[in-house]
Amino acid sequence: MSINVKKYTKDQMAKMVEDAQAEVQELRRVNAALTEQIDQMNGEAINKEKEIEKLKADADALRNKLTDTDAALGRTNAELTYSVAEKNALRNDVIKMTDRAAFECGRANYAESHPWRNLLAWVKRKAACHE
């Protein structure tokens, strides 16, 4: 922008220069404040990026721990299932043995408590004598 020097007086020109210098000073001050504000925002953005990276690393570590824990739980569940099946088989064997023992014991108790027990003993004695 050019100014026609013949159109203005020296005082008017000096006043225009002073106004322009004051306006430049104000713009420089605003520019410095905005530059400082941008630097702060850049610093905050860098800090946020670092924080986000740290959180992502923590999340990855937690995912890995979760995967390991799931695998360990799966192995433990398989072992527990096998143990429960083994326990059930052993329990069934014990029940069968107990039932058989109770049946045998019941037959023996029946034979001894039968009212004809003495008769059976007498028949055995007689059979031994006749031989």
Contacts 24+ apart (CB under 8 A), 124-130: none
User: Can you spell out the DSSP letters for 3-25?
Assistant: --GGGS-HHHHHHHHHHHHHHHH
Q: What is the pLDDT of residue 7?
A: 78
- Residue 13, pLDDT > 90, answer no
Average pLDDT across the chain, whole number:
84
Provide mean pLDDT across the span 72-101. Answer: 85
In this prediction the pTM is 0.45
pLDDT above 90 coverage of the chain, percent: 46
Going by pLDDT thresholds of 50, 70 and 90, the confidence category of residue 64 is very high
By the 10 Å C-beta count (0-12 exposed, 13-18 middle, 19+ buried), 85 is classed as exposed
Provide mean pLDDT across the span 15-34. Answer: 94
Sign of the four-CA dihedral 19, 22, 28, 33: negative
Q: What is the pLDDT of residue 30?
A: 95
**pLDDT tens-digit map of 104-127:** 655 555 555 666 667 777 777 778
More confident residue, 127 or 43: 43
Question: Among the residues of the chain, which ranges form H helices?
Answer: 10-113, 117-129
Sign of the four-CA dihedral 77, 78, 81, 87: negative
